[in-house]
Amino acid sequence: MDPKERIEELRRILDEAGYKYYVLDAPDMSDYDYDMYLRELEELEAAHPELVTPESPTQRVGGRVSEAFAEVVHEAPLESLQDVFSLEELEAFEERVTAGGPLEFDVEPKIDGLSVALRYESGVFVQGATRGDGVIGEDVTENLRTIRSLPLRLESAPEHLVVRGEVYMSKKVFRELNAERERDEKPLFANPRNAAAGSLRQLDSRIAAQRRLDIIVFNIQAITGRTFERHSETLDFLKSLHFRTVPHFEFSSVAQCWEKIRAIGYDREQFDFDIDGAVIKVNSLEARRELGSTAKAPRWAVAFKYPPEKKETLLTDIVIQVGRTGVLTPKAVLEPVRLAGTTVTSATLHNQDFIAERDIRIGDTVLVQKAGEIIPEILSVNLSKRPADSVPWSFPSVCPECGAPVMRDEGGAAIRCQGAECPAQRLRHIVHFASRAGMDIEGLGTAVAQLLIDNGLIKTPGDLYTLKADDLQELPGLGKKSADNLVAAIAGSRSNGLVKLLSALGIPQVGQAAAKQLARRFRSMEALEAASEEDLTAVDDIGEVTAGLIRSWLDSAQGRHLLSALRDAGVDMTYTEEESDLRFAGKTFVLTGALAKYTRDEATAIIERLGGKAASSVSKKTSYVLAGENAGSKLTKAQSLGIPVISEEDFEQMLL
Cα 596 to Cα 92, 206, 248, 391: the distances in Å are: 59, 12, 44, 61
β-bridge mates for residue 251, sequence order = 105
Cα 595 to Cα 602: distance, rounded to the nearest angstrom: 10
Instruction: Report which of 210, 190, 185 is spatially closest to residue 199, judged by C-alpha positions.
Output: 210
Q: Which of 4, 20, 110, 260 is catalytic?
A: 110
Cα 7 to Cα 42: distance, rounded to the nearest angstrom: 9
Do residues 67 and 592 touch, judged by C-beta distance below 8 A? yes
β-bridge mates for residue 108, sequence order = 279
Cα 44 to Cα 63: distance, rounded to the nearest angstrom: 20
Q: In this structure, is the dihedral angle defined by the CA atoms of residues 556, 425, 325 and 500, taken in order, positive or negative?
A: positive
Instruction: Report which of 506, 491, 494 is spatially closest to residue 559, judged by C-alpha positions.
Output: 506
Pairing relation of β-strands 645-646 and 624-627? parallel
β-bridge mates for residue 317, sequence order = 333
- What angle, 0 to 180 degrees and rounded to 10, lies between the N-to-C axes of helices 3-18 and 31-47? 150
Cα 226 to Cα 241: distance, rounded to the nearest angstrom: 14
Q: In this structure, is the dihedral angle defined by the CA atoms of residues 375, 376, 377 and 379, taken in order, positive or negative?
A: positive
Q: In sequence order, what are the residues at sequence separation of 6 or more whose Cβ sits closer than 8 angstroms to the Cβ of residue 313?
A: 334, 335, 336, 337, 344, 365, 366, 368
Residue 253 DSSP label: S
Residue 30 DSSP label: -
Cα 190 to Cα 196, 323, 343, 409: the distances in Å are: 11, 17, 21, 21
Active site (annotated) includes residue 480: no
Instruction: Report which of 480, 512, 476, 474 is spatially closest to residue 496, judged by C-alpha positions.
Output: 512
- What angle, 0 to 180 degrees and rounded to 10, lies between the N-to-C axes of helices 192-200 and 171-183? 80
Cα 237 to Cα 25, 232, 471: the distances in Å are: 19, 9, 56
Cα 247 to Cα 106: distance, rounded to the nearest angstrom: 10
Cα 105 to Cα 86, 172, 255: the distances in Å are: 17, 32, 11
Extended beta strands in 255-400, E state:
275-282, 301-305, 310-322, 328-339, 342-348, 365-371, 375-381
- Tell me which amino acid residue 449 is: A
Strand, coil or helix: what is 421?
A: coil
Instruction: Report which of 10, 76, 79, 73 is spatially closest to residue 40, judged by C-alpha positions.
Output: 10
Do residues 109 and 304 touch, judged by C-beta distance below 8 A? no
CA angle 627, 628, 632 (to 5 degrees): 70
- Tell me which amino acid residue 99 is: A
Q: Where in the sequence numbering do the catalytic residues fall?
A: 110
